[in-house]
C-alpha cells in the first residue's frame, strides 16, 4: 500500500500561534483528506483536497499531487484546535481504501 508520512509527530503551540503540518505520500493518488480527531475521539473531516488549495476560516490546505505532498495550515490557533490531525490518501492504484498517516498530535496551550 501507499506510505503516508506526517510531520511533525508532536507539536505544542501557544494560543494565537500559527503552524504548518505536512503530509508526504509515496505514490500518485486521486484523493486526499485531512481529518481532526478531537480529544473525545471523533474524526472530523477538515478538507477533501486531492489537489490545489482550499481555505475554511483559520484553516487552509494545499496539495501538490505531482510532488506527493500536502500541507495543512492552522492560523491563530485556539485551545479547541488540540487533538490529532490525520492525512489520508486513496484512489489511483490503491483500490478503494484510504491509507492514513500516523498523525500529528497538536496541543494548544492558553
Partner 1 sequence: DSGVTQTPKHLITATGQRVTLRCSPRSGDLSVYWYQQSLDQGLQFLIQYYNGEERAKGNILERFSAQQFPDLHSELNLSSLELGDSALYFCASSPGVGRGYTFGSGTRLTVV
Q: Does 70 interact with partner 1 (rule: CB under 8 A)?
A: no
What character string, x for contact with partner 1 (CB under 8 A) and - otherwise, covers 10-49?
Answer: --------------------xx-x-x-----xxxxx--x-
Residue 83 vs 103, nearer CB to partner 1: 103
Residues 6+ apart with CB under 8 A from 102: 4, 5, 6, 9
CA nearest neighbour of 24 among 3, 45, 1, 48: 3
| Binding to partner 1 in span 84-103, by CB under 8 A | 86, 88, 90-91, 95-100, 102-103
Amino acid at each position: 500500500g501507499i506510505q503516508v508520512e506526517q510531520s511533525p509527530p508532536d507539536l505544542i503551540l501557544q494560543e494565537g500561534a500559527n503552524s504548518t503540518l505536512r503530509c508526504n505520500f509515496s505514490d500518485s493518488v486521486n484523493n486526499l483528506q485531512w481529518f481532526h480527531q478531537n480529544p473525545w475521539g471523533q474524526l472530523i473531516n477538515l478538507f477533501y483536497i486531492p489537489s490545489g488549495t482550499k481555505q475554511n476560516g483559520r484553516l487552509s490546505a494545499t496539495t501538490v499531487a505531482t510532488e506527493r505532498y500536502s500541507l495543512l495550515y492552522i492560523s491563530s490557533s485556539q485551545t479547541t484546535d488540540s487533538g490529532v490531525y490525520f492525512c489520508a490518501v486513496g484512489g489511483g492504484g490503491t483500490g478503494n481504501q484510504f491509507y492514513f498517516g500516523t498523525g500529528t498530535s497538536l496541543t494548544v496551550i492558553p
